[in-house]
Amino acid sequence: MVEGGAKIICVDIEGLGEICKRVSDEFKKKNPFGLDGIKNYLPEFNLPLELDFDPPRIEVPDPLTASKYLFLLASMERKSQSRINIRNGLFTWAQPSKRWVFDPVQVIVHPESEIESICRRDLQHGLDNFHKRYKKNCATLVKDYGGYPRILINNQTVDQARANLMELDGIGTGIANLYIHYLLDRKIASPTNPEDALLKVDIHKGALPFNIVCADINENTIRGDIVTEVFEPLYRQVIKRQGLDPSLLDSGLWFIGSEECNKEDYNVCLAKCPLVDMCRSRVPQDYYTKHFTVYDLDSDGNRVRIDRRKHRAQTRLIL
């Protein structure tokens, strides 16, 4: 049992371990569902042609520039989707006159109005004065790290790398974890203990334990930040206990959540998901409040676990 504020989350650590093992095993297979397919959705495997080998390798020819490019894309992950960021990042890079926006040294000498224009029109990311935070962070990178964000991570412990990243404006635990995985996946940079890398516990990795019912709460809803606080160390515990690859698991869990759970269609679960026989519900998260709603009340006032999957009842009858 893990306490989080006034809420209590009960977690079956063995059940969480089974989730992680199944997903890791599935994504080790090089089939369309596994590693080959997921690369199409990850920014670190969709770099501009100038920043990759042809044909691509795991390593990149210019890790310093690649780390700058991926730093901007990771910074945009807040309230955005990876596939949208991939598209807009490549679109912006393809305009040589605007590539400076990926280089902290050049960003700090440009006026905010020009940074804002590219962020809004080309990168299509103008939420919460993003351009101001980004310029501020670029100034810190130039002052303390020579403008090279990979130095925040390379040869640091995971915890120190996270602390370095989270000193930057607008970068919390999730984006810090994500950026570490971006650089690890392409061997751009590595902490001294990569096996301790933490997962980005987003809506997908937060909801899955409730969907599988290896996690429960004593109330109907729970804040997303509490879920993150609880599951970050628990995922790490499972990874270390089973000797799993944290980057592979992070990508695999994200893929299942974003490409399958998001469909909210039980037929998709049956066709593709390695967790389908364990899954019992589809728990939603509110876009604005970030609360997970695990239970609702039925007409008699009883708490019932929410299941948003279409065709669940019909498929069960057919089976």
Q: Which domains does the chain have, with CATH numbers?
A: 2-39+199-318 (no CATH), 50-196 (1.10.340.30)
Evaluate if residue 78 carries a pLDDT over 90. no
Provide the pLDDT for residue 38. Answer: 74
Beta bridge partners of 285: 292
Average pLDDT, the chain: 91
Q: CA-to-CA distance for 39 and 276, rounded, in angstroms?
A: 23
Please check whether residue 147 is in contact with residue 65, taking contact to mean a CB–CB distance below 8 angstroms. Answer: no
Q: CA-to-CA distance for 123 and 13, rounded, in angstroms?
A: 40
pLDDT tens-digit series, residues 181-219? 999 999 999 999 999 999 999 999 999 999 998 999 999
- CA dihedral sign, ordered 47, 52, 56, 59: negative
Q: CA-to-CA distance for 128 and 120, rounded, in angstroms?
A: 11
> Residue 314 — very low, low, confident or very high, per pLDDT cuts 50/70/90?
low
Task: Report the Cα–Cα distance between both ends of the chain, in Å, rounded.
Answer: 35
Evaluate if residue 316 carries a pLDDT over 90. no
Q: CA-to-CA distance for 319 and 317, rounded, in angstroms?
A: 5
pLDDT tens-digit series, residues 38-68? 788 899 999 999 999 998 899 999 999 999 9
Closest CA to 214 of 19, 14, 3, 12: 12
Q: Which amino acid is residue 262, in one-letter code?
A: N
Residue 24 contacts by C-beta under 8 Å, 6 or more apart in sequence? 242, 244, 245, 248, 249, 252
* Element holding 28 (H helix, E strand): helix 13-28
- What's the whole-model pTM score? 0.91
Closest CA to 79 of 138, 136, 41, 130: 130
Provide the pLDDT for residue 7. Answer: 54
Beta strands in the chain (DSSP E): 2-4, 7-11, 215-217, 221-223, 291-293, 295-297, 303-305
275 φ/ψ angles, rounded to the nearest 5 degrees: -105, 5
